Amino acid sequence: MNRHRLLISSSILGILSLSAWAQSELPAPVEMTSKEDHKHMMDQLGIRSIRRGADGRDKESPRYANYDEAKANPYPNLPEVLLAQDRKKVTTPEMWWDQRRGEIVELFDREVYGRVPDNMPKVTWKVVNTLEEKRSEIPIITKDLVGAVDNVSYPHVTVEIQASVSTPAAAEGSVPVVVQFSGSFFYGRRPGVDPAQRPGGGRGFGGRGPRGPSWKDMVTEKGWGFAKIDTYSIQSDKGDGLTKGIIGLVNKGQPRKPDDWGALRAWAWGTSRLLDYFEADDAVDAKRVGLEGHSRWGKATLVAMAYDPRFAIAYVSSSGAGGAKLHRRNCGEIVENVAGSGEYHWMAGNYIKYAGPLNWGDLPVDSHELIALCAPRPVFISSGDKGDGWVDARGMFMATAHAQPVYELLGKKGMGTYEFPELETGLMDGDIAFRQHAGGHTDGPNWPTFLTFAERYWK
């Protein structure tokens, strides 16, 4: 190397180490309990107290959740999905795409799920493990993936998104893939990591349903692939984690502002980054990537589908409050529960306002508009029955029904009704679909229904 070159490279090194030094001067993440962080957010909002949530367990409690349909609709008027802010009726697809859709996104960003910051750091994906396995006797190839998030701006926080993708070994070309949101799952396959150490213990939340034939077997039998993403590797599922994970990394360890993103939006963001990886993986047809999630991951599924138009289809299972259920409904879980210190981290801080002093009817948007953001892409909203009352099947159906006009405006087919269907009677013929299965709080029983729905698009 000549002297000139040496000089340049040593000054580059100098700049690099100078910036590393500057970053290391940044303080470590603020440590707060969930209660403290929740209080800190209420202080920012100027709120002294909020109303308490419904009690889901104790039938004797005066706050026991309402299940009486006669009392379930205190705010029967929903925001009109096809009425723009200038009071003009949205009558053409152009008006939807150029005006109304963006208005709705802005309101969900600001008041409900929070904003993803501009200039998000880059994610670099690596295949860390390749396994030859079998599903239903069919040979498949599983790749364990790690998406490392660039943290030069704040080295105190490291985020490595963990995911895996499995595709049929004999596939000629790329295949459709269904991605399931879940808790930690692949620690067991990582050398030196004890599966019992993962959040949720040995099995993770994801495995709550009944055991029947697994969805992975069913997907493989169709010739498709399946993938999982570990949401906790993106953002923790507690308020005390908001100064860490991807939210803490971009906030440099400081607490959130009222319109900053919450965990649902962060999980959705991480899944969009996985889709970026899929776009570069020849085994996956990135134009046919579906999403599935149950319960809190059902909420994440709907948020990811609504915000990233590249996702092709979604199975949203028992997503309930903060998901497909109307915020304006008084049935099962209510806004006050989601705004409390155990769940507020899913949402933008601003959402807390609607549990006091404001009310549900003050929300400028409701969940039918979130579902409408998925249009024209196919969405299946699913619920269980007994044991799944907390998610309010009817409130999710009503939101689905009121999203139909947008599907129809965009030339797609709705469910053809606003009437709540009988149990186990799927409204599956349109591009927006609903079915309440007879099981409890699980995604198991509606998997075959979803796969038949998806097959219409992926044949």
Looking at residues 32 to 91 of the shown chain, list those that interact with ligand GCU (rule: CB under 6 A): none
CB-nearer residue toward ligand GCU: 266 or 375: 266
CB-nearer residue toward ligand GCU: 220 or 383: 383
Question: Which own/partner pairs from 183-192 qualify as long-range (CB within 8 Å, at least 24 positions apart)?
Answer: 183/230, 183/231, 183/232, 183/237, 184/230, 184/232, 184/233, 185/228, 185/230, 186/144, 186/162, 186/228, 186/230, 189/129, 189/131, 189/144, 190/128, 190/129, 190/144
CB-nearer residue toward ligand GCU: 284 or 291: 291
Q: How far apart are CA 316 and CA 399, in angstroms?
A: 13
Question: Total binding residues for ligand GCU by CB under 6 A?
Answer: 7
Minimum distance from residue 23 beta carbon to ligand GCU (Å): 36
Would you give the binding string for ligand GCU spanning residues 283-322, x where CB under 6 A is met? ------------xx-----------------------xx-
Minimum distance from residue 26 beta carbon to ligand GCU (Å): 34
CB-nearer residue toward ligand GCU: 154 or 315: 315
CB-nearer residue toward ligand GCU: 111 or 333: 333
Looking at residues 114 to 133 of the shown chain, list those that interact with ligand GCU (rule: CB under 6 A): none
Greatest extent of the chain over all pairs of C-alpha atoms, in Å = 84
**Residue 183 · residue 195 · CB < 8 Å:** no
Nearest 5°: the CA angle 417, 90, 320 is 45
Minimum distance from residue 22 beta carbon to ligand GCU (Å): 40
Minimum distance from residue 368 beta carbon to ligand GCU (Å): 18
CB-nearer residue toward ligand GCU: 162 or 337: 337
**Residue 391 · residue 332 · CB < 8 Å:** yes
**Residue 338 · residue 90 · CB < 8 Å:** no
Looking at residues 404 to 423 of the shown chain, list those that interact with ligand GCU (rule: CB under 6 A): none
CB-nearer residue toward ligand GCU: 162 or 295: 295
Residue 325 near ligand GCU by CB under 6 A: no
Strand pairing class (225-230; 123-135): unpaired
E strands, 256-387, where? Answer: 284-294, 313-317, 379-383
Minimum distance from residue 316 beta carbon to ligand GCU (Å): 12
Query: For residue 88, which phi and psi values (nearest 5 degrees)?
Result: -85, 140
**Residue 242 · residue 257 · CB < 8 Å:** no
CB-nearer residue toward ligand GCU: 142 or 337: 337
**126 pairs with which residues across the strands?**
146
Query: For residue 164, which phi and psi values (nearest 5 degrees)?
Result: -145, 155
Minimum distance from residue 447 beta carbon to ligand GCU (Å): 18
CB-nearer residue toward ligand GCU: 34 or 337: 337
Residue 422's alpha-carbon distances to 249, 419, 436, in angstroms, are: 47, 9, 8
Closest CA to 230 of 195, 192, 281: 195
Minimum distance from residue 172 beta carbon to ligand GCU (Å): 39
**Residue 327 · residue 360 · CB < 8 Å:** yes
Closest CA to 30 of 290, 256, 292, 310: 256
Within 10 angstroms of residue 73's Cβ, the number of other Cβ atoms is 16
Burial 323-344 (b: 16+ CB within 10 A, else e): bbbbbbbbbbbbbbbbbbbebb
Minimum distance from residue 319 beta carbon to ligand GCU (Å): 7
Would you give the binding string for ligand GCU spanning residues 330-359, x where CB under 6 A is met? ---x---x----------------------
Closest CA to 305 of 291, 319, 318: 291
Looking at residues 384 to 403 of the shown chain, list those that interact with ligand GCU (rule: CB under 6 A): 390
Minimum distance from residue 296 beta carbon to ligand GCU (Å): 3
CB-nearer residue toward ligand GCU: 166 or 383: 383
Minimum distance from residue 159 beta carbon to ligand GCU (Å): 22
CB-nearer residue toward ligand GCU: 177 or 302: 302
Minimum distance from residue 297 beta carbon to ligand GCU (Å): 7
Residues of this chain that interact with ligand GCU (CB under 6 A) are: 295-296, 320-321, 333, 337, 390
